[in-house]
Chains A and B, each alone.
Chain A
């Protein structure tokens, strides 16, 4: 049964793609016959990927977001099994009151378990816990030939590895099982420290990643001068006081919603500068320490629904790379200087060190090193050119770009970043494809009109 309703979009709202058909799946026992589709197929979760990895222009999008049932949860061991469309928000709702937490979480809880696996997502605890895929014990994969395969480190282990970080190309995950993390209460002991140079960031990181499970920094790159950047370093651990387990969390405020597309002039380098200034200044003391509930610590952005609309109709680019530690300083020096020169304002810039916990994922993005995530309004060719130059810096420093946040890297770059792509390709389901995959392997699908 096709629906006329949901047109898959990605969070960056660029590029615009049109699926030939959107097929919602509601029940595990009423799965679509994938073999019957003439066009290529791609599962779609909540569209929280930024670029085109969740899009399938001209093909079939199978909307998995309604496959949203829990299957089993063992309170004793923390092992949970659920359908692929269950969101991380659903899991927190069920798990937190019983003393369990996500093993790791991206910066939004509105992602599906299927999406978390397909992009092998990482969070603020990458240095201590690795990626989401590190905690997956098994899942069921539906292939277009009708096979239902249980994949785990022991069973169909190659498909297990290929599907984690496999960009939805190896088949449709129906359900997955993974391990949660034990907590004493829903509170986080957090510290926020203002820093005024890149060097200071490195010092804080080195000191924090031993002692804190979670760490991440918000940075302002538009200050100029020798310090290169300033920002706020945020770190935290789960609070261990059993007494707080009874303390009710503050009643949730209704989320704000951005109801319309902002006109494109709203976000420019001046407003970004002003925002960054305000955000930096709002913390008056250099060092702040408090115990707060997990939501504002992990998901500050989730408090504003559809915040992607502030970038207007043309959408925006996210850009995240990781470079090995030994090239960290040089790569950051160069890229920050490049951004400053171009005067491109990035609104939500995030800097973090990844650790060396190895993921089973074949094509996973995270690896030991420094990662920087940026976003840029879409000004058409000007932005594209600027980002190509950034690609070069990443490449020269042995780094890679995150597919979940990419809408534009060239096939040439992708193949350099992910030389294992050919090994991976043999596990792709013959009927599955995506706009992203066609672009980065064949260089096609890139002639999508720019909105200027």
Chain B
């Protein structure tokens, strides 16, 4: 199995990759920090990865995405699965005060993802098999005052994936939208963690299972499907007054 992971130093990506490593997969790990990628690659090799190569890229360097895809395919000798995991939670308040900040968040969480998906979709469509999996978020299901810039980006990604799924279904390429709820990772370390917070290991396993089964949309942990069903059904008039 040849797996490329973008944002491979993310806690959720790493936990997911541990399962692929146990299967003896060949891994291509992409991220912006060479040091962190090396740490993750060593770990995954000990855990059983057949190979783990790294590639340093800030995903906002869109003009290097083509090169990235070529390198991926050349190094792995093909491509079965691409998992896009990078993201930033950003500071909502800062975004409200700065257009540049808002655009930066949208670039990292939406535009870079859409660019990567456009290129890899074309490659896999021609190959007529493979899997695209992206970590979106429950935050994209409904806009909330506390994180709507992030939520907007995730909503864009989710919608993009819906369309792409339909298009690629004809070529036998699977598109998996992953919507984690709140997970205790570095991204959320500063937040007060309530009962609904999940552990990264369990979420990594959920993501791995979703990819293996080729699910269309996976809420992880599964109870978030219900939580979001309720959240989505609250009338806007009431919703806008909730402290969310």
Contact = CB atoms under 8 A, between A and B. Distances in A.
Interface of A: 1-5, 24, 26-29, 66, 69-73, 80, 82, 94
B58 interface: no
Given A3-B189, A5-B193, A28 B39 contact: yes
B39 A27 contact: yes
Given A94-B46, A94-B47, A69 B190 contact: no
A26 B192 CA distance: 18
23 contacts: A1-B189, A1-B190, A2-B190, A3-B190, A4-B190, A4-B192, A5-B184, A5-B193, A26-B11, A27-B35, A27-B36, A28-B39, A29-B33, A69-B39, A69-B40, A69-B42, A69-B43, A70-B42, A71-B42, A72-B42, A73-B46, A94-B46, A94-B48
Contacts of A3: 189-190
A211 to B, nearest CB: 34
A24 B11 CA distance: 14
Interface residues of B, number: 18
Nearest to B192: A4
Contacts of A5: 184, 189, 192-193
Contacts of B46: 70-73, 80, 82, 94
A70 B43 contact: yes
A3 B190 CA distance: 5
Contacts of B184: 5
B186 interface: yes
Interface in B136-155: none
In the A-B complex, the 5 residue pairs with the closest CB atoms = A70-B46, A69-B43, A29-B35, A73-B46, A3-B189
A71 B46 CA distance: 7
Interface in B25-42: 33, 35-36, 39-40, 42
Interface in B164-218: 184, 186, 189-193
Contacts of A24: 186, 189
A82 B47 CA distance: 12
Given A28-B39, A29-B35, A29-B36, A70 B189 contact: no
A82 B43 CA distance: 8
Contacts of A70: 42-43, 46-47
A69 B40 CA distance: 7
Given A5-B193, A26-B186, A27-B35, 6 more contacts: A1-B189, A28-B35, A66-B186, A70-B42, A71-B43, A94-B47
Interface of B: 11, 33, 35-36, 39-40, 42-43, 46-48, 184, 186, 189-193
Nearest to B184: A5
Nearest to A26: B186
B137 to A, nearest CB: 20
A126 to B, nearest CB: 28
B12 to A, nearest CB: 13
A23 to B, nearest CB: 10
Contacts of B192: 4-5
A26 B186 CA distance: 8
Contacts of B35: 27-29
A29 B42 CA distance: 15
A130 to B, nearest CB: 25
Nearest to A69: B43
A365 B206 CA distance: 42
A29 B39 CA distance: 9
Nearest to A5: B193
Contacts of B48: 94
Contacts of B193: 5
Nearest to A23: B189
Contacts of A69: 39-40, 42-43
B185 to A, nearest CB: 9
A72 B46 CA distance: 6
Nearest to A95: B46
B110 to A, nearest CB: 25
A82 B191 CA distance: 29
A1 B188 CA distance: 11
A72 B11 CA distance: 20
A2 B190 CA distance: 7
Nearest to A28: B39
Nearest to A91: B46
Contacts of B43: 69-71
A26 B36 CA distance: 10
Nearest to B33: A29
A226 to B, nearest CB: 51
Contacts of B42: 69-72
A92 to B, nearest CB: 13
A27 B36 CA distance: 7
Contacts of A27: 35-36, 39
A260 to B, nearest CB: 13
Contacts of A4: 190-192
